[in-house]
């Protein structure tokens, strides 16, 4: 049951990340994506490619967030 809870949490955080990107809030998107990745890791998924995709998105979003912060 814990695995299901963590998967559900990851999906909700991924959705939050998507909304944040649409609102150009890359700092929030980065945080949500980071937490989504943690939730997936806690769910102990057998398929590493899913965690890898989330990790790649996190790196991209956090990079954009950093660029936005530096440019201010």
Q: Which residue range is the domain that position 9 belongs to?
A: 2-71
8 Å CB contact between 71 and 26: no
- CATH code, domain with 46: 1.20.58
Q: What is the CA radius of gyration of the chain?
A: 13
Both tokens assigned to 15: 């959705």
The DSSP annotation for 39-52 comes to HHHHTT-S-HHHHH
Question: Would you write out the chain's pLDDT as a tens digit for each of its 72 residues?
Answer: 788 999 999 999 999 999 999 999 999 999 999 999 999 999 887 777 888 888 888 899 899 888 887 887
Question: Residue with structure tokens 């937490």?
Answer: 35
Domain count, the chain: 1
Q: What's the pTM value of the predicted model, to 2 decimals?
A: 0.84
Question: Which tokens sit at 32?
Answer: 């949500």
């Amino acid at each position: 049951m814990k695995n299901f809870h963590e998967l559900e949490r990851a999906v909700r955080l991924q959705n939050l990340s998507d909304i944040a990107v649409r609102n150009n809030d890359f700092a929030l998107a980065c945080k949500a994506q980071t937490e989504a990745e943690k939730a997936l890791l806690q769910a102990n998924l057998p398929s590493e490619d899913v965690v890898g995709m989330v990790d790649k998105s996190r790196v991209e979003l956090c990079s954009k967030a950093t660029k936005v912060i530096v440019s201010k």
